[in-house]
Amino acid sequence: MITLKLKVQPSLPVEAEGISPENFAGKTAQEIQEILIWYGNSQVKVGDFFEVEVGKAAAKDQLPKVVLQGNLERFKRLGQGMTAGEMEVESSVGFHAGAFMQGGKLTIKGDAGDWLGSHMEGGTILVEGSVGNYVAAAQRGRDIGMTGGAIIVKGNAGQMLGSRMRRGLIAVGGDCGDVVGFKMAAGTIIVKGKAALRAGANMKRGTIIIFQKPTMMPTFYKNCEYKPVFWKLLCKQLSEYGFELDEAQRNAVFTRYTGDANTGGKGEILTCLA
């Protein structure tokens, strides 16, 4: 295990995508301290902000677990582009954490800023707190957002959750803001709390599950009430991620709405008051 302990709080945002299990593999503490990261418009060393402790070496085919300690709200892009390994942040983090992730596991024990997991392709992000806007969304100028992997949030989420999503799983334990699943093309979004306005706007396909029924857009039509066959399998998968549902939720009867009729009407929103 490699532990980074924050010793100096930055006054400007830090671009910290260089902090990752792949980049640290096989390096000594001194070599890790020499890695360059962007601080404002100049480059500094990891050692300028962190004390680095390297534990027992991992096996040759195993990446080290990276643990970060201290208030990292001004550190952006932590875990960006990870392909394997495990990174655990014992506090809150800034924007773009886990963006473009392809594999591995990123655990955030506090809150996360905007654009968490944007363009994520694989791997797992677990957030014990709440998250900002544009989780798993397509960044400006791009048409496709998240294409794989799983994002599990125990708290609340902001606006545009899963915007332009195309495969993958997002689960939120609390509430979410406006326009969840905007232009969603595939994948699954689960919200245990409330969703604000315009849920599923312009969605083409995919599934949004909201336990507390939102105000439905007029371009969504009630289809049926049923128990989806896939729900038990999905509950099992969520349990493996530590996202727990009570018995009533696991055995829920859902009302199915299809839409958005403006874009072909092949998406679905499932609601339940259990």
- Contacts (Cβ under 8 Å, ≥6 apart) of 38: 14, 15, 44
Whole-number pLDDT of residue 129: 98
pTM: 0.95
What pLDDT, in 10s, does the model give residues 104-127?
Answer: 999 999 999 999 999 999 999 999
Q: Where are the domains of the chain?
A: 111-271
Whole-number pLDDT of residue 58: 56
Whole-number pLDDT of residue 123: 97
Whole-number pLDDT of residue 204: 95
Whole-number pLDDT of residue 272: 87
Residues in the chain where the model's pLDDT stays below 50: none
* 222/84 Cα distance (integer angstroms): 42
Whole-number pLDDT of residue 59: 55
What pLDDT, in 10s, does the model give residues 222-259?
Answer: 999 999 999 999 999 999 999 999 999 999 999 999 99
